[in-house]
Amino acid sequence: MDAERAHALADAETSGPTQPVSTVNVADSRALFDNFVTQPHAAFHESILPPKGTYTVQDHPVAVEGGEISVRSLVPVVEDANETFPVLVFIHGGGMCLGGIELDDYALRGWCVRHKISIVNVGYRLAPENPFPTAINDCHITLQWVVSNASILKADLSKGFIVGGHSAGAYVSAVLAHIARDDPFFEGRRLTGQLLREPTVCRYQAYPESLKAKFRSIEENKDVPPVTKDQLDRLRAWYNAPPTDPRSSPLLYPSHEGLPRAYIQASQLDVLRDDGLVYAEVLKEAGVEVKMDLYPGVGHGWYYNDPTSAASARAREGVEEALEWLLGRRQS
């Protein structure tokens, strides 16, 4: 294990939660996630926010089936008021049950300014109150909203139309890439990139026989924090998605041809490591252009819990380089 990460985990043992994972309810899980994930990540990125006046922030109501969600737009401010930008639709992690748009808000503000890209941060509805496929539907509608409201985002989709996220957000992004590929609404304004940070792409109950031997991390890393197999199972039970439905396990879509280029991050000690590694192989076999980074000695989402470490800095650099690659501004 990475030395800095091991030290951080040792410190957390003395101050972290003591309840067995099986006894933690939804409300307590959300409070723990806020304390140990959202707050350290937000505090770190708040300390390096770009100057005021270099971007705008606006929350927008988006009508969805059975209600309304809020999405937050971040738009660069540049000297030429008529300049347009590529757009990234970002979907937060949290196992479909935890977190919200505040989780990545400050980090995304930095991306917006540094990469001159408009960003839409999606406040999709959470399970178990809103189980599968509510979040998928919310995010699909948001993609359509972005297309229909490109002008208020100062977006030019021909310059780049990316969907991405971390963990559960990366899973939803992988699903949306398939949905948008097949949805006639997006004809002439297709997605151009996928940003998949530590994605989950197949429930272990549904691993294809031909690939099952490659999914070793689900057992090898089942007890490695900050996300263990038991925790994963608890969140998935709340989400309540059928494992064999491709909208639950996007690896199971019958075809991956025609998907946009994809950047995938994976972590050596992550229980979901092999989801990323296998998905990269499958996409490449389908003719999709893929860039892959594997980070040694760290578990799932370590850069949220421990943002000041050297390993976290490398991961941030990797994803920002990948953004430039996804936008066609940088070679792989």
Distance of CA 216 to the CA centre of its chain: 22
Q: Which residues are CB-contacts of 9 (< 8 A; sequence separation ≥ 6)? A: 1, 225
Please say if 158 is a catalytic residue: no
Please say if 80 is a catalytic residue: no
**For residue 308, which of 1, 6, 8 has the smallest C-alpha distance?**
8
The DSSP bridge partners found for residue 166 are: 197
The catalytically annotated residue of 138, 249, 300, 306 is 300
The catalytically annotated residue of 105, 270, 274, 275 is 270
The catalytically annotated residue of 29, 73, 118, 167 is 167
Asked if omega into 133 is within 30° of 0 (cis), the reply is yes
Neighbours of 24 (CB within 10 A): 16
Cα 104 from Cα 223, distance rounded (Å) = 26
Please say if 115 is a catalytic residue: no
Catalytic residue numbers, as ranges: 167, 270, 300
